[in-house]
Structure 1
Amino acid sequence: MILTRDQIRQAYIDACLGEIQALKPGNVHRFADGHRMTATQFLDSAEISAGPLTDPALRVGRRIRDAVAATRAHVGTNTNLGILLLCAPLASAAELRGADLRLDTARVLDALDREDARDVFAAIMLAQPGGLGSAEKHDVSQEPQAGLPEAMQEAAHRDMIARQYVTGFADIFDTGLSAHAAALVRGEEDMWPTVFVYLDFLSHFPDSHVARKHGAAIAEKVRAQAEAMRARVSAMEDGREREKLLLSFDRQLKADGINPGTSADLTVATLFAKNIINLVLHNREVSG
């Protein structure tokens, strides 16, 4: 039994809600706003973008473009470009009849072409993400000269979201889902599995958004701080003490204007993938 559009739409909204409910240092969450954005804006963005993101009549690139346009018109700022770039291929893959989301995502990525690149370039220009700059090849301000996979290949060494397009979303399926599963095995509950997904991304890779805005050295410094923070939080059992520690790190990052947005985007995509996989398993049990 394949997933319905409503199921995929709700899985996406639930992923966005789960991410915003988790205490992610430096990012916007229910414990603290930041960077001139609010948690409410992110929740509104999830609702308004869910329609075009899950429209089976649209190609992946057009889903991203229409979802960015809808978000921009409603919220007035870029809250979810990275989320949409990651979640649109997953939503398209969820519509296929296969039982393996990773394989289906690879099939979706393999089918992306110049039309998808044109729409994605337009979406990026509309969203105007911080620290965008320009590129010698496949600059988003120009007409694409190749398909979307080739354009993403050019940026993959410096951008974690582009990297997913050329690795079959390997970091989502390997790092993200593994971190979530490991947290559940340890008995983590409520927001904590999501927190550990975020900290795993932030401690494993220098955050692309931080690197674009502040440089590679600062991004590496934040990565090292996150690695130490993850170890300290893992060793603590008291949830309130964990929150105090993470909120202190949160205030420090925000005071310095540091927003690890790419790690948050990867967290949403991980939760979305997890929700899709769980729905497939549930539907299989019901129909079997």
Structure 2
Amino acid sequence: MPVSRALLTKAYEAACRAEIEALKPGNVHVFADGHRMSADQFLRSAEVSAAPLTEPGVSVGRRILAAVDATRTAVATNTNLGIVLLAAPLLRAAELPGRDLGANVREVLDSLTMDDTAAAFEAIALASPGGLGDADNDVREQPKIGLVEAMRQASDRDLIARQYANGMADVFAIGLPALAQAEERGEGGMWPAVAVYLAFLTGFPDSHVARKHGLDTALKVQREAAAVAADLARQPGEEARIALLTAFDRDLKARAINPGTSADLTVASLLGRCLSQCLA
């Protein structure tokens, strides 16, 4: 049975809130702002983007555009483009009658039209993220190919694009298992979300970091994150674990490094788990 709009809205806002309440090194969170953005801006962005992302009868592309437009009006900066790009197909998939969210997501992506592509391109141009205008299909021009194909062409350099190309396989194969494993270990509070974030940060060179600072820096951050994750696993107490993450957080922010793609994928994973549970 499809998930109701009220539950979709609740799931989306809860995923955004859980991500911003987790101490994610280098990213914005309630423990510390950063990169000229605040946690309150992200919470406000989640609030105003929820309605357009769950609007019944509206296409994925139009939801993306309306959500980005609402965010820009509310906070005047790009806080959530990656989140919106990932959340829109997930939320639409939960509206379909099938109980398998992964299969539903693939169905949604397969059914995207050129109108979806044009609306998504307009949203990306509106959000003005660095570098995307130089892609094979300039988002400031009318699209020549469908959204999934455009994302496929960018998937080797952008992990958000890769999710469109692979049916969000990384969300289902990395994010959801990391979340489940953390909960099986007895983790509570923010720690499951931290585990998901670190799973992505250690699993890939963050594409936002690579776009801003180059691939070598992104690979270095990936190695640093792996060392921090290993140290974290050896720390028995919450106070020591928070101190470890805080030190890494300050170091990354001092270098103006923001692993934003890993954070976006964390939201998608939190949302995907909730939607899967709703469909079960």
Q: CA RMSD in A?
A: 0.8
Equivalent residues, number: 280
> Residue type matched to 2:162 in 1?
R
TM-score normalised over the length of structure 1: 0.96
> Residue type matched to 2:226 in 1?
E
| Corresponding residue for residue 199 of structure 1 | 198
Displacement over 6 Å in runs of 4+: none
- Counterparts of 1:89-238 in structure 2, within 5 Å, are 89-135=89-135, 137-238=136-237
- Asked if 2 retains the 8 angstrom alpha-carbon contact of 1:13 and 1:47, the reply is yes
| Corresponding residue for residue 66 of structure 2 | 66
Shift of 1:133: 4.5
Point out the more displaced range, 271-280 or 94-103. Answer: 271-280
- Asked if 1 retains the 8 angstrom alpha-carbon contact of 2:133 and 2:140, the reply is no
Gaps of 5+ in 1: 282-288
| Corresponding residue for residue 24 of structure 1 | 24
> Residue type matched to 2:167 in 1?
G
SS in 2 for 1:50: helix
| Corresponding residue for residue 46 of structure 2 | 46
In 2: Cα distance, 1:128 partner to 1:62 partner: 17
Q: Percent identity?
A: 56
In 1: Cα distance, 2:247 partner to 2:256 partner: 14
1:239 equivalent to 2:238? Answer: yes
Name the CA shift for 1:10/1:278 in 2 (closer, same or farther; >3 Å). Answer: same
- Asked if 2 retains the 8 angstrom alpha-carbon contact of 1:113 and 1:149, the reply is no
Shift of 1:194: 0.5
- Asked if 1 retains the 8 angstrom alpha-carbon contact of 2:125 and 2:139, the reply is yes
Shift of 1:224: 0.5
> Residue type matched to 1:274 in 2?
R
In 1: Cα distance, 2:79 partner to 2:210 partner: 18
In 2: Cα distance, 1:165 partner to 1:235 partner: 36
Shift of 1:279: 1.9
SS in 2 for 1:96: coil
In 2: Cα distance, 1:209 partner to 1:247 partner: 21
Shift of 1:132: 3.4
In 2: Cα distance, 1:227 partner to 1:114 partner: 40
SS in 2 for 1:112: coil
TM-score normalised over the length of structure 2: 0.98
> Residue type matched to 2:239 in 1?
R
> Residue type matched to 1:242 in 2?
R
| Corresponding residue for residue 82 of structure 2 | 82
> Residue type matched to 1:78 in 2?
N
- Asked if 1 retains the 8 angstrom alpha-carbon contact of 2:207 and 2:261, the reply is yes
CA displacement 1:137-195 (0-9 Å, x = unmatched): 21111110011111111100100000000101000000000100111111111110110
In 2: Cα distance, 1:54 partner to 1:200 partner: 28
- Asked if 2 retains the 8 angstrom alpha-carbon contact of 1:90 and 1:273, the reply is yes
In 1: Cα distance, 2:30 partner to 2:38 partner: 9
- Asked if 1 retains the 8 angstrom alpha-carbon contact of 2:100 and 2:279, the reply is no
| Corresponding residue for residue 285 of structure 1 | none
Shift of 1:49: 0.2
SS in 1 for 2:132: coil
